[in-house]
Amino acid sequence: MKKRSLKQELIYLASGESISVVLFCIVYVLYTKPETRFATSSAVLYFPLLILNLILVQGSLYWLNCLRRIQKKKALETQLLAPLYKGLKMLDFMLLLAYIPIWIWSFRVSNSSNIIIGVLLWLFAIIEFVNYFYYRLSYYTMGGLGLQVMRPIKLLLMGKAAKSQIAKEISLYEKNMEHK
């Protein structure tokens, strides 16, 4: 399989994250009953979905901005983008923490399948959070059609994981601010 160009890769990443958001929302609407879709008893489901979708939208917008940079179009530069994503990183972290009391409370008002699905969505959101703001966790298989699972875990545990693009951009910005 031929390797994608940088432009193709950025389009693939941005569109993939955007499509995922739409699909997650469709699945949620199909899975839940209209009368309970946004009830407090469903918070165990929709809150982690909201967090996950927020992180995916942030990722999609980041890749679109990178695409605009390589196309020499108007795009946010590191001086604006890094502080923005540093703030989003803190917001995402706070939202991920805010799920814990919702999860504990849900044992009183939700059924076990909703709790399990909610926790899985939350864990997926944590993985995406780490993938975007700390370490690269996405590596393609040889054919380029799937993602490796064990390699990123192994690299992370061995302390050899590569920094994510957003983490590199924030780090570069912070170094430049120190020298001013």
Residue 129 phi, psi dihedral angles, 5° rounding: -60, -50
pLDDT per residue, tens digit, the chain (180 aa), is 567 789 999 999 999 999 999 999 999 999 988 888 888 889 999 999 999 999 999 999 999 999 999 999 998 888 999 999 999 999 999 999 999 999 999 999 888 999 999 999 999 999 999 999 999 888 765 565 566 767 788 888 888 888 999 999 999 999 988 876
Q: Which residue is listed with tokens 């990123």?
A: 152
**CB environment 36-66: b (16+ within 10 A), e (fewer):** eeeeeebbbbbbbbbbbbbbbebbbbbbbbb
In whole angstroms, give the CA distance from residue 37 to residue 22.
16
In whole angstroms, give the CA distance from residue 132 to residue 124.
12
In whole angstroms, give the CA distance from residue 125 to residue 56.
9
Say whether pTM exceeds 0.85. yes
In whole angstroms, give the CA distance from residue 160 to residue 17.
26
